[in-house]
């Protein structure tokens, strides 16, 4: 690390490199007290990921990128510029809002095209945590459903796990998987593949191109860490070889998570998907706790006895333990009841006490 | 003599001219410093790395506008302070969704736990090991307001003068002096009482709004 060698700097001076002026340390006498704060070092991979992220990020700023490259070789590219402009005009048919399908975007086209699904899935770390905690599927909420619409006597239909094989999002995940496994993406994409993708983009209709442009813009505007997570996740899903079952575990977790968010209204879903891994897990824990409660614990009459506590009241009976298990219970069991390490945060979560406490309202 | 600041400015000018290798060198030169700054500012390593990357991205995007008239360190510190402020605003917005900022709260909880052990009287400060002291100092730092913390860290790790801190944080020099005066008072109260008695000062932890 190359910190400036100077110690306390000169107050009133502008350079801090002065020699014998009156030296005033902004920290004064507490500098020594703070000596236990040690300098840290970045991981070895940070440089490469930073360079990659900056390269990807600057991809969506064609004007900016071309400006610096244009100066020294402007004359050489004059003719090529005309050709490119013609191509751009062709691509910008009608009122298409697409920006130039920049080469970098083409490199990441499978990711950009399936950005929605990947954003929802989040990151490898998040999915690993979901897999590890082994959340049960959400139950259908009975809002608006008349009592006669339920089946099975005192067991309401909403107790059934939500299975969503025909769910659009479910199908999109499969399509995403196919697309990511189909070909390479990122800097290693061969030129021939880039050309093929360029042609593919050219053949898109206006609506599809507009959607792609929106996705590319959204991809560019993601925070760096989020973009990094998505590219990492796409690489994990795109790796067809799965000898250790990691891919299947990630997919199962993605599907489980999708089931949870699919029940939210669109605005809420958007807000939940925008959360980072830690907050998503917190959200999921909260709703999973809610999920394991009996919906109408007061009995068939709906009135309940003295112990009835209304919506979300007493805990379910033990016979339902298998289905209504507490989130993460399986993982804890596998770990001998010990605290379960949190893959997303690296922290260790406390196990039973707070997870079995019913959450407020 | 070539100082590290000159090296950074030179590298930045090369980045401006489109030299990708220079940008990589600049990242290598500054990443540890930024991660250190953000680590002590946020209390979380991965957040610190994200913020450092964000700073480099902003540096790259702003390369056209860079002029070597000011010190490079002041320029990058300004960007770093802005990135930290943006993170704070994002965290605030996130809380509007009803999700507590778990990263800082968890790290704070650990700190409090350690302080509770350290302050239990079983081990006086003189015998407290470095790790305990470190956690107390971290807690003291985290009890400062965001501006105070950033000013203290710029002074501590980047050896910035009042003027440089003022420039980086877009404040006046008297405002920075006042900021640091209050920060020093608060830290002194917390840390001296711990060092003397092994007990955490009751004033600590309040911070400024």
Separation between Cα atoms, residue A297 and residue A314, nearest integer Å: 7
pTM for this entry: 0.44
A160 — pLDDT class (breaks 50, 70, 90): very low
Separation between Cα atoms, residue A216 and residue A102, nearest integer Å: 10
Would you say residue B38 has pLDDT above 60?
yes
Provide the mean pLDDT of chain B.
77
A213: enclosing H helix or E strand: helix A206-221
Residues B48-68 have a mean pLDDT of 88
What is the reported pLDDT for A57? 66
Residues A140-159 have a mean pLDDT of 42
To test the contact with chain A by mutation, choose from B63, B155, B174 the residue with the greatest count of A C-beta atoms within 10 A, namely: B155
Q: Check if B163 contacts A (Cβ < 8 Å).
A: yes
- What is this model's ipTM? 0.71
B52 — pLDDT class (breaks 50, 70, 90): very high
Instruction: Give the contacts of B175 (CB within 8 A, at least 6 positions apart).
Output: B166
A208 — pLDDT class (breaks 50, 70, 90): confident
Would you say residue B203 has pLDDT above 80?
no
CA atoms within 13 Å, Cβ hemisphere of B62 = 14
Would you say residue A6 has pLDDT above 70?
no
Of the ranges A16-20, A49-53, B36-40, the best mean pLDDT one: B36-40
Instruction: Give the contacts of A101 (CB within 8 A, at least 6 positions apart).
Output: A91, A198, A201, A212, A216
| Bridge partner residues of A341 (DSSP) | A348
pLDDT greater at residue A321 or residue A226: A226
Residue of B20, B137, B184 lying closest to A36 (CB–CB): B137
Q: Can you say how many angstroms the Cα of residue A156 is from the centroid of all Cα atoms in its chain?
A: 34
List chain A residues with CB under 8 Å of B133.
36
Question: b/e map of B82-98 (b: 16 or more CB within 10 Å)?
Answer: bbbeebeeebeebeeee
Distances (CA, A) of B200 to A257, A298, B80, B109: 43, 50, 31, 15
Separation between Cα atoms, residue A51 and residue B27, nearest integer Å: 8
Query: What is the DSSP track for A286-340?
Result: HHHHHHTS-SSTT-TTSS--TT--STT-SPPPGGGTTTTPPTTHHHHHHTTTPPE
Q: Check if A181 contacts B (Cβ < 8 Å).
A: no
What is the reported pLDDT for A39? 83
The total of other beta-carbon atoms located within 10 Å of residue B33's CB is: 25
Would you say residue B58 has pLDDT above 70?
yes
- pLDDT-wise least confident of A328-332, B62-66, B139-143: A328-332
What is the reported pLDDT for A88? 56
User: A75 by DSSP, 3-state: which?
Assistant: coil
Would you say residue B56 has pLDDT above 60?
yes
| Bridge partner residues of A139 (DSSP) | A161
To test the contact with chain A by mutation, choose from B162, B180, B194, B201 the residue with the greatest count of A C-beta atoms within 10 A, namely: B162
Q: Which two tokens stand for residue B65?
A: 């506008």
List chain B residues with CB under 8 Å of A42.
31-32, 34-35, 49, 52
User: A12 by DSSP, 3-state: which?
Assistant: coil
Separation between Cα atoms, residue B53 and residue A54, nearest integer Å: 8
What is the reported pLDDT for B100? 47
Q: Check if A345 contacts B (Cβ < 8 Å).
A: yes
Residues B129-150 have a mean pLDDT of 83
What is the reported pLDDT for A294? 60
Q: Quick check: B161 and A51 CB within 8 A?
A: no
Q: Which two tokens stand for residue A76?
A: 């050489």
Separation between Cα atoms, residue A4 and residue A6, nearest integer Å: 5
Q: Check if B1 contacts A (Cβ < 8 Å).
A: no
What is the reported pLDDT for A86? 56
Separation between Cα atoms, residue B42 and residue B64, nearest integer Å: 30
Separation between Cα atoms, residue A61 and residue A120, nearest integer Å: 25
To test the contact with chain A by mutation, choose from B12, B66, B79, B99 the residue with the greatest count of A C-beta atoms within 10 A, namely: B99
What is the reported pLDDT for A221? 79
Of the ranges A46-50, A141-145, B27-31, the best mean pLDDT one: B27-31
Give residues 267 to 326 of A whose Cβ lies within 8 Å of B.
Answer: 271, 275, 278-279, 282-283
Residue of B29, B49, B50 lying closest to A2 (CB–CB): B29
- pLDDT-wise least confident of A31-45, A71-85, A263-277, B105-119: B105-119
Provide the mean pLDDT of chain A.
65
Residues B67-87 have a mean pLDDT of 88
């Amino acid at each position: 690390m190359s910190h400036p060698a100077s110690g306390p700097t000169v107050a009133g001076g502008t350079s801090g490199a002065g020699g014998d002026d009156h030296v005033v340390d902004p920290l004064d006498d507490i500098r020594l007290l703070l000596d236990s704060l040690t300098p840290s070092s970045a991981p070895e991979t940070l440089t490469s990921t930073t360079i990659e992220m900056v390269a990807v990020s600057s991809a969506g700023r064609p004007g900016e990128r071309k400006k610096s490259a244009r100066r020294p070789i402007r004359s050489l590219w004059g003719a090529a510029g005309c050709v490119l402009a013609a191509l751009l005009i062709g691509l910008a048919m009608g009122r298409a809002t697409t920006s130039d399908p920049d080469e970098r975007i083409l490199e990441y086209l499978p990711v950009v095209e399936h950005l929605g699904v990947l954003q929802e899935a989040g990151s490898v770390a998040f999915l690993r945590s979901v897999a590890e905690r082994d959340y049960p599927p959400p139950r259908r909420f009975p809002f608006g459903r008349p009592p006669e619409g339920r089946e099975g006597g005192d067991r309401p239909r909403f107790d059934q796990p939500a299975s969503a094989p025909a769910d659009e999002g479910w199908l999109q995940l499969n399509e995403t998987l196919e697309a990511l496994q189909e070909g390479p993406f990122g800097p290693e994409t061969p030129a021939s593949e880039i050309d093929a993708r360029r042609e593919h983009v050219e053949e898109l209709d206006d609506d599809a191109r507009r959607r792609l442009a929106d996705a590319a813009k959204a991809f560019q505007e993601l925070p760096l860490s989020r973009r990094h997570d998505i590219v990492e996740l796409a690489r994990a899903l795109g790796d067809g070889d799965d000898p250790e079952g990691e891919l299947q575990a990630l997919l199962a977790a993605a599907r489980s998570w999708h089931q949870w968010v699919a029940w939210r209204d669109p605005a809420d879903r958007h807000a939940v998907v925008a959360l980072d891994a830690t907050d998503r897990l917190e959200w999921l824990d909260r709703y999973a706790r809610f999920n394991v409660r009996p919906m109408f614990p007061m009995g068939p009459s709906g009135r309940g006895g003295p112990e009835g506590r209304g919506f979300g009241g007493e805990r379910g009976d033990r016979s339902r333990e298998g289905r209504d298990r507490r989130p993460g219970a399986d993982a804890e069991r596998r770990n001998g009841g010990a605290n379960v390490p949190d893959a997303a945060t690296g922290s260790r979560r406390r196990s039973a006490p707070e997870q079995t406490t019913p959450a407020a309202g | 003599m070539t100082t590290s600041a000159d090296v950074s400015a030179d590298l930045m000018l090369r980045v401006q001219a489109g030299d990708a290798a220079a940008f990589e060198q600049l990242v290598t030169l500054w990443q540890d410093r930024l991660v250190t700054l953000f680590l002590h500012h946020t209390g979380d390593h991965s957040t610190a790395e994200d913020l450092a990357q964000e700073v480099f991205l902003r540096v790259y995007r702003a390369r056209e506008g860079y002029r070597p008239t000011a010190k490079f360190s002041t320029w990058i510190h300004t960007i770093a302070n802005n990135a930290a402020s943006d993170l704070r605003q994002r965290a605030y917005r996130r809380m509007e969704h009803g999700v507590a900022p778990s990263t800082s709260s968890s790290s704070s909880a650990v700190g409090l736990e350690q302080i509770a052990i350290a302050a239990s009287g079983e081990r006086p400060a003189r015998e407290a090991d470095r790790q305990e002291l470190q956690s107390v100092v971290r807690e003291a730092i985290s009890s400062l307001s965001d501006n105070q913390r950033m000013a203290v860290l710029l002074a501590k790790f980047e050896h910035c003068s009042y003027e440089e801190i003022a420039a980086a944080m877009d404040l006046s020099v008297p405002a920075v002096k006042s900021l640091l005066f209050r920060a020093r008072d608060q830290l002194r109260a917390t840390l001296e009482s711990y060092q003397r008695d092994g007990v955490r000062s009751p004033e600590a932890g309040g911070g400024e709004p």
